[in-house]
Chains A and B, each alone.
Chain A
Amino acid sequence: KAGVTQTPRYLIKTRGQQVTLSCSPISGHRSVSWYQQTPGQGLQFLFEYFSETQRNKGNFPGRFSGRQFSNSRSEMNVSTLELGDSALYLCASTPWGSSYEQYFGPGTRLTVT
Chain B
Amino acid sequence: ILNVEQSPQSLHVQEGDSTNFTCSFPSSNFYALHWYRWETAKSPEALFVMTLNGDEKKKGRISATLNTKEGYSYLYIKGSQPEDSATYLCAHNTGNQFYFGTGTSLTVIP
The interface of chain A, by Cβ under 8 A from chain B, is 3-4, 33, 35, 40-45, 48, 56, 58-59, 90, 99-107
Residue among A4, A41, A59, A107 making CB contact with B1, cutoff 8 Å: A59
By a CB distance below 8 angstroms, the chain A residues around B42 are 106
Task: Give every chain A residue within 8 A of B46 (Cβ-Cβ).
Answer: 101-103
A-B pairs under 8 A by CB, number:
53
Q: Which of B11-19, B69-77, B92-100 contacts A (4 or more CB under 8 A)?
A: B92-100
Contact in complex: A106, B43 (CB < 8 Å): yes
B32 is contacted by which of A48, A90, A99, A105 (Cβ under 8 Å)? A99
Nearest chain B residue, comparing its CB with the CB of A42 = B100
Is the CB–CB distance between A42 and B43 below 8 Å? no
Q: Please give the number of chain B residues whose Cβ is less than 8 angstroms from any Cβ of chain A in the complex.
A: 26
Question: When chains A and B are docked, how far (Å) is the Cα of A104 from the Cα of B91?
Answer: 13
Pick the most buried of A48, A56, A102, A106: most chain B CB atoms within 10 A of its CB: A102
- Complexed CA–CA distance, A4 and B51 (Å): 25
